[in-house]
């Protein structure tokens, strides 16, 4: 067979997808005619399709040397360079191809991918649009355009672009999956679920698609179905990234205590071995400080794989006022927003310039307006952490306080760029960040004792009295009736408005024994997992209707309805934080138990700072006995309420002005060390 026939045979095998045969034939041809430009090019393209990008680049560069004006060689060279994450080099190859062939739609499309990888999203979209002007019906380009828009957080436009791709190619499973991801980010979980199900119908064994469907199910609070998906993923691959950790989260929210016990037993082995679980989820499972730190450090490595160069390099600022920035996603109708507003209003504005760095979507709530009014500057930022860090450096921030930690939407990783001399964690997350770029964590001696320092990457800095801000100027409205709140007209009301994922079997057992011993009493809980919890109550011999679930109401109504309860019962190992503060502000005594780590000690701090230290117990037995004694002694409970009301004028918990001074003093002391 002559060389031409061999070439045609190799090309036919390549085009027919028989890559092994094509590779053998191309190699045989090159052995007979070394340096043949077209064969070298085709073998390079084949190597690229096999994922052997280093070999592909070498072959394609050799082909290009022989055919410098061949746009197809430049196209495939750009593709191979992209596979090596050499996006700038790939861009140059595509630009050379387009200089030779300006209407090369495939080069325009792939150029858009390289630009998107370089986060030049505007240029990427222009390149995709140029490709689509040539080939409007190219589903792949519409899809890639959607990916770029999604990365740029232009989510509505991303969904529209995915829709164009899917109209042209309904069988594109990745298109349905990525559309679902964009819809999830748009908080359209039901629509996202539909998209993920379309993707799974096309590729039922795709674990990534199933994980995404489980996320949508969790968002819709269909935790049992989410757990089933996670189980199916782990059946196929027990080590599938995040499946175990997400199953742990779903089990918490479902109050699936059998599953919780199994997962809890696995924690000490799985986490040190590298299994992923969200640090915030772990706080509800374990009080082990060493495990919490290991988990936080792992999560931080995932969030910041390569630490950026510091933006602040030791410069000394000489400002008339200390520039104090608070970073949060929650300057809105959210517990952190409600807690921080009164604190901001009480800062010494003669000495401190107060700047809010606000992540998240725009919010026209009263609390956001109040926060804006309390600050010298209120700066809304996007999700580009590097850009936000650069903004902080331009502002010459002296002290940056992160209020989010590992909570949703947190701006913690902004501080990885070290934009400020002093960087602090406070309030929103009750655990270590595991970050060496966070200098200190503000708390008090009860919530976070100095003996816990070994479990914290940050320096523990104690604030006198209390670390928790309270809004003593909160508007109070009349309480709803017991009937309107869904409560019986009479009987003792035990209450816990913590998220129900914080409820553990040992705590629930105590609560059920209390209901058994106090005739006519009810347990008033936050809505969520009602069917599961009522079933658990029945299994313990308690009529399910004695569990009453409080539905969502406006915040001022929620605050007012606390007055219908007789005693707030706390949870462990993760106890009441903002919920304890709300109860105490409403005059409702909070019975808590001192835990072993920060999340389980906050309520003890608040109750003590409110002047009711006798409501802090130190064992499960003492907790149960005191709850029972208080429920049987109305006069004693009335006395506690009266003391709580009187203490609003003098107790540290209610002195937010003093807290502002204490935070300022702590910041100044930390600045002195820089």
Could you report the per-residue pLDDT of 369-382, keeping only the tens digit for each?
999 999 999 999 98
As a whole number, mean pLDDT of residues 13-35 equals 81
Specify whether the CB–CB gap between 625 and 487 falls below 8 A: no
Specify whether the CB–CB gap between 504 and 536 falls below 8 A: no
CATH number of 493-647: 3.40.50.2000
As a whole number, mean pLDDT of residues 300-313 equals 96
Would you state the pLDDT for residue 473?
83
- How far apart CA 297 and CA 291 sit, in angstroms, is 10
Query: What tens digit of pLDDT does each residue of 250-278 get?
Result: 999 999 999 999 999 999 999 999 999 99
Query: What tens digit of pLDDT does each residue of 430-473 get?
Result: 999 999 999 999 999 999 999 999 999 999 999 999 999 999 88
Which tokens in the block code for residue 666? 């702590």
- How far apart CA 488 and CA 490 sit, in angstroms, is 5
* Whether CATH 1.10.260.30 fits 31-204: no
Domain 322-462 class? Answer: alpha beta
Residue 481 has pLDDT above 70, yes or no: yes
As a whole number, mean pLDDT of residues 549-564 equals 95
Q: What percent of the chain has pLDDT over 70?
A: 100
Query: What tens digit of pLDDT does each residue of 630-661 get?
Result: 999 999 999 999 999 999 999 999 999 999 99
Residue 34 has pLDDT above 90, yes or no: no
Would you state the pLDDT for residue 1?
54
Domain spanning 223-303: CATH superfamily: Tetratricopeptide repeat domain (1.25.40.10)
> Residue 417: which residues within 8 A CB-CB, separation 6 or more?
308, 309, 310, 311, 385, 386, 389, 390, 393
Q: Give the containing element (helix H, strand E) for 636.
A: helix 634-647
Would you state the pLDDT for residue 607?
98
Which tokens in the block code for residue 3? 């060389």
Q: Which long-range contacts (CB under 8 A, 24 or more apart) does 582-588 make?
A: 582/497, 582/558, 583/495, 583/497, 584/610, 584/644, 584/653, 585/470, 585/471, 585/472, 585/474, 585/559, 586/559, 586/560, 586/562, 587/562, 587/563, 587/641, 587/644, 587/645, 588/495, 588/562, 588/563, 588/641
pTM: 0.91
Would you state the pLDDT for residue 138?
97
Q: 């001399």: which residue's tokens?
A: 421
């Amino acid at each position: 067979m002559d060389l031409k026939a061999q070439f045609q045979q190799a090309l036919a095998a390549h085009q027919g997808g028989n890559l092994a045969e094509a590779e053998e034939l191309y190699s045989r041809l090159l052995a007979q005619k070394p340096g043949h430009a077209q064969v070298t090019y085709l073998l390079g393209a084949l190597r690229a399709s096999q994922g052997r990008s280093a070999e592909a680049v070498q072959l394609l560069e050799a082909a290009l040397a022989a055919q410098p004006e061949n746009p197809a060689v430049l196209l495939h060279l750009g593709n191979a360079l992209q596979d090596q994450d050499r996006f700038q080099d790939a861009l140059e190859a595509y630009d050379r191809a387009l200089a030779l062939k300006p209407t090369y739609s495939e080069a325009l499309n792939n150029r858009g991918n390289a630009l998107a990888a370089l986060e030049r999203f505007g240029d990427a979209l222009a390149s995709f649009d140029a490709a689509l002007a040539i080939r409007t019906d190219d589903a792949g380009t519409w899809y890639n355009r959607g990916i770029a828009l999604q990365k740029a957080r232009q989510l509505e436009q991303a969904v529209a672009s995915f829709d164009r791709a899917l109209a042209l190619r309904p069988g594109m499973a990745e298109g349905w999956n990525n559309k679902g991801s964009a819809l999830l980010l748009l908080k359209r979980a039901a629509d996202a679920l539909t998209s993920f199900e379309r993707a799974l119908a096309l590729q039922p064994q795709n674990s990534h698609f199933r994980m995404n469907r489980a996320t949508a199910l969790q968002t819709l609070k269909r935790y049992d179905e989410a757990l089933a998906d996670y189980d199916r993923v782990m059946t196929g691959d027990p080590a599938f990234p995040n499946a175990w950790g997400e199953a742990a989260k779903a089990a918490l929210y479902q109050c699936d205590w059998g599953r919780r016990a199994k997962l809890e037993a696995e924690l000490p082995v799985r986490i040190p071995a590298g299994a992923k679980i969200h640090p915030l989820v772990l706080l509800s499972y374990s009080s082990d400080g060493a495990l919490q730190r290991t988990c936080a450090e792992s999560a931080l490595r995932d969030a910041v794989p390569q630490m950026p160069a510091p933006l602040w390099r030791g410069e000394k600022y000489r400002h008339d006022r200390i520039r104090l920035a608070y970073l949060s996603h929650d300057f809105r109708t959210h517990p952190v927003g409600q807690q921080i507003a009164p604190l901001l209003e009480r800062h010494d504005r003669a000495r401190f310039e107060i700047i809010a760095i606000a992540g998240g979507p725009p919010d026209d709530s009263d609390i956001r307006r109040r926060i804006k009014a309390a600050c010298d500057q209120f700066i809304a930022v996007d999700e580009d952490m590097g850009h936000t860090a650069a903004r902080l450096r331009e502002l010459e921030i002296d002290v940056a306080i992160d209020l989010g930690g590992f909570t949703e939407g947190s701006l913690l990783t902004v501080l990885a760029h070290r934009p400020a001399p002093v960087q602090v964690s406070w309030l929103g997350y009750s655990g270590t960040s595991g970050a060496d770029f966070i200098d200190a964590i503000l708390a008090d001696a009860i919530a976070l004792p100095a003996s816990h320092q070994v479990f914290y990457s940050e320096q523990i800095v104690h604030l006198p009295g209390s670390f928790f801000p309270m809004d003593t100027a909160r508007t109070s409205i009349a309480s709803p009736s017991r009937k309107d709140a869904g409560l019986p007209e009479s009987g003792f009301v035990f209450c816990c408005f913590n998220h129900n994922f914080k409820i553990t079997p040992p705590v629930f057992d105590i609560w059920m024994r209390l209901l058994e011993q106090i005739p006519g009493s009810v347990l008033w809980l936050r809505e969520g997992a009602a069917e599961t919890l009522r079933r658990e109550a029945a299994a313990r011999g308690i009529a399910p209707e004695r569990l009453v679930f409080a539905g969502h109401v406006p915040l001022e109504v929620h605050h007012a309805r606390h007055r219908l309860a007789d005693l707030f019962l706390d949870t462990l190992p993760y106890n009441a934080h903002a919920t304890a503060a709300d109860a105490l502000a409403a005059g409702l005594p909070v019975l808590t138990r001192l835990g072993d780590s920060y999340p389980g000690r906050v309520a003890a701090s608040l109750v003590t700072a409110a002047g009711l230290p006798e409501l802090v117990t130190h064992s499960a037995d003492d907790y149960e006995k005191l709850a029972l004694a208080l429920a049987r002694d109305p006069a004693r409970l009335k006395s506690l309420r009266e003391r709580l009301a009187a203490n609003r004028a003098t107790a540290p918990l209610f002195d937010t002005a003093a807290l502002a001074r204490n935070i300022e003093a702590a910041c100044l002391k930390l600045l002195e060390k820089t």
